[in-house]
Every structure is written in C-alpha cells, then in structure tokens.
A = this chain, B = another copy of it.
Amino acid sequence: MTDTAPGTASRTPTRRYGTRPTMKDVAARAGVGLKTVSRVVNGEPGVTPDTERRVQEAITALGFRRNDSARILRKGRTASIGLVLEDLADPFYGPLSRAVEEVARAHGALLINGSSAEDPDREQELVLALCARRVDGLVIIPAGHDHRYLAPEMAAGVATVFVDRPAGRIDADAVLADSFGGSRDAVAHLIAHGHRRIGFLGDLPGIHTAAERLRGYHAAMNEAGLPVHDAWVSTGPTDPERVRAAATAMLNAAEPVTALFAGNNRVTVTVVRVLAERPAPAAPVALVGFDDFELADLLSPGITVIAQDSAQLGRTAADLLFRRLDGAGGDPRQLVLPTRLIPRGSGELPPPATSTA
C-alpha cells in the first residue's frame, strides 16, 4: 500500500487508548483539506455552504472536539484565569469565587481555582502551576507576604490582581475592603453604647486584614481616650478551640470585658456559641463581628456586623483584571471598598449597670 495521501494518519499503527479524532481525521472523512476544517470549526468565512455541511457531518460522525491544548499552544492565549484563595469552603469566598467566575464567563474565559489553606508555600506552588498552564491572569488572595516570585510572570504579561490583602514586596493591583475603618466604626459603636472594656478576638496577626482590624480597634479606643489591657486582645488561628478559650478568659477575668469585637466571620460564629452557652444569670455581653453572615439577623439578639460585600470584592478585582488584559496601562492601583455597619441588637446591648461608671 503506497502512502499516497500524506495526510492520513498511517504513521502510528496502534492508536493508544483515549485517542481522539483530530482535524486531520475530519478532513480525510469529509474529503477536504485540514485548513478548511479549521475554518469551519472556528466559524471563519470563506467556506461554501456545501463544503461546510460535509465537514459538519464528519465532525458529528466522528465525535470530533477541538483540542484546546494545541490551540492554546499555537495562539498563546489560554482564555482562562486562575483564582487562588484561602479556602473555598469558607462562606466568605464562595460568593467571591462565583463573582470572579461570572466576570470571566462574560469574557469567554474559564476559571481555575485552588485553595492555599493560608500556607504561603502552597500559595506559591499553586500560583506557579497556574502560570505554567499559562493562565492569562491571576486573582490572588495572598497567604504569604513575599510575592517577588511573581516578578518574572508579571513581566511576561500575566495580569495579576490581589484581593482582600495587598501584595507583599512587589507592586501590583489590589482590591481591598476597608478593614481599618470598619473596625474603628465597630468599636466606636460599642463605645457609643457605653462600653469601656472591649475585647478584640482576631485572626493571625500576620494576616494583613487581621492587623488592620486590630489597628482599627486600637484607633477607636485611643480616640475615646480608653486604655487597652493586654488581656483584652487575643490574636491567633481561628479554630473554635482557641477562640473559645480566649473568649472565655476575657469573660471570666477579674475585670471582665463587657463587649467583644470579633475579627472575622469564623470568630464571630464561635463567639456566638460561647455566649449562648453561658449560664443564664450572666449579664449579656455586647458583640460586633466583622463580616456579615447568613442568619445573623435571626439569632436573638441579632448580631451586629461590619458587612463587606465579598461578591463585590471579587467582581471589582475581576473587572480590573480584564481591563488590564484588554490593554489598560498605568501604575498599579489599590482600590478600597467601603464597609457598612449593620446594627441588629447584639452591638447595642448596654454594659451591665455596675460597670457603666
């Protein structure tokens, strides 16, 4: 058998399992050239209706599906963006992720995402894996504080936007919520309702937002001329055990706090549990939490929170990312979205009469 048609795939006698028809196969079956198939698949003009029909028939008959890996290799753009966040299971990140996905979808891009679990090494590993995949852009909720490893990638044109926390040691776009201002408002709110001994329960102090929220706490206390005792401030991992212990310690101290400010939604939920478990005669403790959460209004009392719109955070970041991808130049920008205090009852509880003075 003479190999007259060099186009036929006769070089590989045994097709390995999982092999799929290619444009070459479609072309052979339809009796047209390779490029014509490509034109049909991509909806390019310049193909006779009759030819197009023949090609379409061959495509469906063979179950052909374009191999985007090859396309990407050829075109250089992947039409996909990467999202690296802390934990997809955290209700704060679900809406954010979904918002990023919607924007990506509007731009015809797919979303690849991964959870860093708040581990800088894992963040870097993920980000670099995404870069190896040649994502067009990255949305990163950073876990680490040094992102210089991204310099070659950004220089090569990978658009990058940081969310929730700024980039470390590198100049990049960032979209943040006003953690400092929101926290100051929260604590000022408690002070306005008569509290003087206010506890702060925060996340690991290395996390930017956690540090900012602590700063806001101190600012509000300072502005009111109130002292801050070391025992009133606790930062660390947000696992229920630690938060529970810290909250209990503050509540059972000789001079107990009369109000608590919880630094994020995980902490707030645990604090709500701790307060709910207190023996009945205990004086009610005021509480304001950073981050809104579902059902906060249905608890009794309703939980007063500083709300930040995580979906809006994601949408803003993704919009900025695609503007960069569309060629928008200029220096890196830092956008700060406002927060909003939602009073629901728990933050408006007055301190017990004995400690008002």
Contacts and interface: CB of A to CB of B under 8 A. Distances in A.
Interface of A: 16-20, 63, 65-70, 72-73, 76, 78, 80, 87-91, 93-95, 97-98, 101, 105, 110-115, 128-134, 151-153, 155-157, 269, 272-273, 276, 293-295, 298-300, 311
Given A88-B94, A293-B295, 14 more contacts: A16-B76, A65-B132, A66-B132, A67-B132, A68-B132, A69-B72, A73-B73, A89-B94, A89-B98, A91-B91, A91-B294, A101-B114, A295-B299, A298-B299
Contacts of A20: 156
B115 A98 contact: yes
17 contacts: A16-B76, A17-B157, A19-B76, A63-B151, A63-B156, A65-B128, A68-B132, A68-B134, A80-B133, A87-B98, A105-B114, A110-B133, A113-B113, A269-B294, A276-B298, A294-B295, A295-B295
A312 B21 CA distance: 37
A55 to B, nearest CB: 17
Contacts of A89: 94-95, 97-98, 311
A232 B136 CA distance: 52
Contacts of A72: 69
B88 A98 contact: yes
Copies of this protein chain in the complex: 2
A111 B110 contact: no
A113 to B, nearest CB: 7
A90 B101 contact: no
B298 A273 contact: yes
Given A155-B63, A298-B299, A133 B97 contact: no
A68 B311 CA distance: 31
A78 B129 CA distance: 12
Given A298-B272, A299-B298, A152 B65 contact: yes
- 7 closest A-B pairs by CB: A63-B152, A18-B157, A89-B98, A89-B95, A68-B132, A88-B98, A69-B72
A65 B69 CA distance: 17
